[in-house]
Amino acid sequence: MSEPASSPPVSPLHDRHLEQGAKFAPFAGWRMPLHYARGVLAEHAAVRTSVGVFDVSHLGKVWVSGPGAADFVNRCLTNDLDRIAVGGAQYTLCCDESGGVVDDLIAYRLSDEEILLIPNAANAAEVARRLEEAAPEGVEIRDAHRSLAVLAVQGPDSPRILEYLGLPHDLGYMTFAERFVDGAAVVVCRSGYTGETGFELLAPNEAAGDLWDGMLAAGALPCGLGARDTLRLEMGYPLHGQDLSVDVTPVQARLRWAVGWDKPEFWGKDALEAERAAGPKRRLWGLEATGRGVPRAGMSVLDGDRRVGETTSGTFAPSLKNGVALALLDADQRPGAELELDVRGRRLPVRVVKPPFVKPTPS
């Protein structure tokens, strides 16, 4: 069952963002901070060199519970949930029968009978709907999109912020622990979307404010979705709705590692196995500008007069002081190839590269 949608979704930290002078932008029906007073470049630099904190409470939260919940999720989503133990988290994909990506998400294995899924904001209801339609008797699907806040503290100094709050900070990558803070259960996971050392915290809405205040008091800089986008793109992390969609498969997106090929079943398995065997007609690669200019999504990629692909994301990479992009390119294109982008009739030279574009700060 889903929560009532009687009012527009609002972050539980909205008033604090207003106090911090945030500039807001619409995002999947939510009004979320794009950046704060210091701007995107300062926020980006803080995460790469020290520590920043993002409110990403717009992300979906879907509980799958009941006898056999883990087995059920494993029969639906691409990655092999049996690769992780209780207390582990996993990047996985929800595909349709054609192999297209309905969403990419994180699965938290709390027990064999309780899985928490974190889909993207725009796709949370669709993921919940597909699971609810397929769920066997005794397995409950609950869309808890508005009841939990999600904070992402990211950067080489992030363990210090967790220590200040009295939360676990020595976790292995993609593992999580639960702690109680003033009576509220807080899940802390060693994960993130920036490439830096970081943690994502899931907490009841009523506990989010104190956590946010504590992080800022300990020295974390508030960061918005603008810096989150430049940081993820420097790492070559795909964004659903741009680099991933129902028209893009994991094979095309070079996400084969997120598919449990040996599992007996998952949504889209037959189509993906056929595409893997035949070889995809296009692949997602990185493009690094070798001339002056900033790539944006939707630009044609040219090899001489031949169109060989299209950019799916593009930005100015603050760490490189250069333009970078992700692009779906014809299968014959490989890293090292010299191509061009059509930037409103002007040619911008680019080089095909395998992301990441930058190396994260050593932890």
pLDDT tens per residue, the chain (363 residues)?
A: 344 444 457 799 999 999 999 999 998 889 999 999 999 999 999 999 999 999 999 999 999 999 999 999 999 999 999 999 999 999 999 999 999 999 999 999 999 999 999 999 999 999 999 999 999 999 999 999 889 999 999 999 999 999 999 999 999 999 999 999 989 999 999 999 999 999 999 999 999 999 999 999 999 999 999 999 999 999 999 999 999 999 999 999 999 999 999 999 999 999 999 999 999 999 999 999 999 999 999 999 999 999 999 999 999 999 999 999 999 999 999 999 999 999 999 999 999 999 999 987 765
- The pLDDT assigned to 2 comes to 42
Structure tokens at 222: 């508030």
CATH code of domain 14-57+146-234 = 3.30.1360.120
14-57+146-234 and 62-134 have identical folds: no
Global confidence as pTM: 0.95
Distance CA 323, CA 308 (A): 19
Tell me which fold the domain 281-363 belongs to.
Elongation Factor Tu (Ef-tu); domain 3 (2.40.30)
What sign has the CA pseudo-torsion 189, 190, 193, 194?
positive
Contact 190, 172 (CB under 8 A): yes
Place of tokens 């209780």: 86
Distance CA 34, CA 274 (A): 41
53: which strand partners?
A: 153, 222
- The pLDDT assigned to 360 comes to 79
Amino acid type, 143? D
Distance CA 212, CA 270 (A): 45
- Is residue 328 classed as helix, strand or coil in its secondary structure? strand
Residue among 10, 2, 64, 62 nearest 205 (CA): 10
- The pLDDT assigned to 196 comes to 97
Contact 175, 190 (CB under 8 A): yes
CATH code of domain 62-134 = 3.30.70.1400
Distance CA 41, CA 33 (A): 15
Beta carbons within 10 angstroms of residue 34's beta carbon: 18
- The pLDDT assigned to 7 comes to 47
For the chain, give every domain's residue range. 14-57+146-234, 62-134, 281-363
Contact 133, 47 (CB under 8 A): no
Distance CA 127, CA 62 (A): 8
- The pLDDT assigned to 361 comes to 75
- Is residue 89 classed as helix, strand or coil in its secondary structure? strand
Strands 114-118 and 101-111 come out as: antiparallel
- The pLDDT assigned to 4 comes to 42
Q: Which residues are CB-neighbours of 247 under 8 A, at least 6 positions away? A: 100
* Rounded (10°) CA dihedral 220, 222, 225, 227: -60
Strands 221-223 and 52-55 come out as: parallel
Strands 184-189 and 322-330 come out as: unpaired
